[in-house]
């Protein structure tokens, strides 16, 4: 694990500039989706751009020169989220859109606001971290802005898939001593998990909070659909 002095420092000038870029592009993408509606050419171009950016650096992390058992394997939720976001943009499959929406606008945003990153600019992992997080959230914003809406069935699906991912990754962590998803230990840098008690209590609380937030993110859309149907 890199010393804290060499890790990316949250809430410094560099981080604030990155957050500004993230918000500006997100607002622009949502505004474009609202004003123009679904544009298949833009949406599929966006879908292609995501793996074009992320795959080379994902492969780089697997090369012997950069490989680390605790950091290189694609087991973080964000490693799955960018791939699902690209698939959701290409196909608009409801299950993929739902996972992009729920993961992107909660877990991925939290990673952007309180990044746990052991590398600094211009390390490839620096670009990989912020790039895949930003692209996932931008994809979620665009998909929702162009009329894709969650339902209670999709909410339940997202909860089950996330719980299954957590169980598999926790088991892998327990066997290998790794900490993917920060499911077995809190991250070394500052994060929202610092507000919670120690392991395993913080994992249980995190699951309950996330499920509650996702329910709140689903309810307005379901209510609106019910009113329209009446």
pLDDT averages per 10-residue partition of the chain, 230 residues: 60 90 96 89 94 90 86 88 96 95 93 81 85 95 92 95 93 93 80 78 89 95 75
pTM, two decimals, is 0.89
Round to whole Å and give the CA distance between 40 and 42. Answer: 6
Provide the token pair at 214. Answer: 């996702």
Provide the token pair at 141. Answer: 């914003």
CA-CA-CA-CA torsion sign (58, 85, 77, 12): positive
Sequence-ordered strand ranges (E) for 150-230: none
CA 196: distance to chain centroid? 21
Q: What is the pLDDT of residue 3?
A: 47
Q: What is the pLDDT of residue 72?
A: 86
CA 79: distance to chain centroid? 8
Q: What is the pLDDT of residue 114?
A: 82
Round to whole Å and give the CA distance between 189 and 114. Answer: 8
- Expressed as residue numbers, the domain containing 131 is 4-229
Please tell me the total count of domains within the chain. Answer: 1
Neighbouring residues of 162: CB distance < 8 A, sequence distance ≥ 6: 77, 102, 103, 210
Q: Is the distance from CB of 80 to CB of 74 less than 8 angstroms?
A: yes
Q: Is the distance from CB of 75 to CB of 166 less than 8 angstroms?
A: no
Nearest to 58 by CA among 89, 86, 43, 80: 80
């Amino acid at each position: 694990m890199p010393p804290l002095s060499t890790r990316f420092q949250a809430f410094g000038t560099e981080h604030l500039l990155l957050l500004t870029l993230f918000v500006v592009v997100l607002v622009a993408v949502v505004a474009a989706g609202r004003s123009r509606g679904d544009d298949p050419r833009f949406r599929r171009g966006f879908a292609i751009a995501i793996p074009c950016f992320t795959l080379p650096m994902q492969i780089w992390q697997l090369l012997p020169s950069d490989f680390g058992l605790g950091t290189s394997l694609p087991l973080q939720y964000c490693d799955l989220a960018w791939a699902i976001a690209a698939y959701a943009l290409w196909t608009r499959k409801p299950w993929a859109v739902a996972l992009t929406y729920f993961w992107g606008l909660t877990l991925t945003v939290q990673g952007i606001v309180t990044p746990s990153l052991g590398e600094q600019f211009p390390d490839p992992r620096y670009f990989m971290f912020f790039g895949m997080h930003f692209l996932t959230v931008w994809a979620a914003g665009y998909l929702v802005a162009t009329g894709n809406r969650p339902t209670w069935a999709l909410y339940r699906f997202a909860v089950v898939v996330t719980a299954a991912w957590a169980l598999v990754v926790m088991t892998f962590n327990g066997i290998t001593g790794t900490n993917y998803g920060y499911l077995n230990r809190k991250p070394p840098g500052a994060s929202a998990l610092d507000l919670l008690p120690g392991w395993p209590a913080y994992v249980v609380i995190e699951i309950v909070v996330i499920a509650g937030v996702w329910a709140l993110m689903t309810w307005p859309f379901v209510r609106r659909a019910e009113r329209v149907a009446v």
